[in-house]
Amino acid sequence: MTPTKPVLVASDIHLGAASANQERAFMAWLRHAGGAASWIILNGDLFDFWFEYRWGTTRGHENVLDMLRRIVDGGVPVTLMGGNHDWWGGAYLREEIGLEFLQHPVTRDIAGRRAFLAHGDGLGRGDTGYHLLRSLLRGRATRWAFGMLPPAVGDQIGRMVSATEGRGPPRGDELERAAALEEWAVGKLKEEPDLELVILGHTHIPVVREVAPGRWYANPGDWIFHSTYLTLDRSGQPRVSRWRDGTT
Query: CATH number of the domain that 122 lies in?
Result: 3.60.21.10
The CB density around residue 34, as the number of other CB atoms within 10 Å, is 19
| Tens digit of pLDDT at every position of the chain (248 positions) | 556 899 999 999 999 989 999 999 999 999 999 999 999 999 999 999 999 998 899 998 999 999 999 999 999 999 999 999 998 899 999 999 999 999 999 999 999 999 999 999 888 776 666 666 677 777 788 889 888 999 899 888 888 877 676 666 777 777 888 899 999 999 999 999 999 999 999 999 999 999 999 999 999 999 999 999 999 998 889 999 999 865 55
Q: Does residue 172 lie in a domain region?
A: yes
Assigned domain for 28 exists:
yes
Spatial separation of the C-alpha atoms in residues 210 and 228, rounded to whole Å: 19
User: Any idea what the Cα angle at residue 84 is, between residues 82 and 87, rounded to 5°?
Assistant: 35
Q: Is residue 88 part of a domain?
A: yes
Counted residue by residue, the chain has a size of 248
Is residue 248 situated within a structural domain?
no
72 inside domain: yes
Task: Let me know if residue 154 belongs to a domain.
Answer: yes
SS3 at position 217: strand
**Does 137 reside within a domain?**
yes
Answer whether residue 1 is part of any domain: no
Q: How many domains does the chain have?
A: 1
**Domain range spanning residue 233?**
7-242
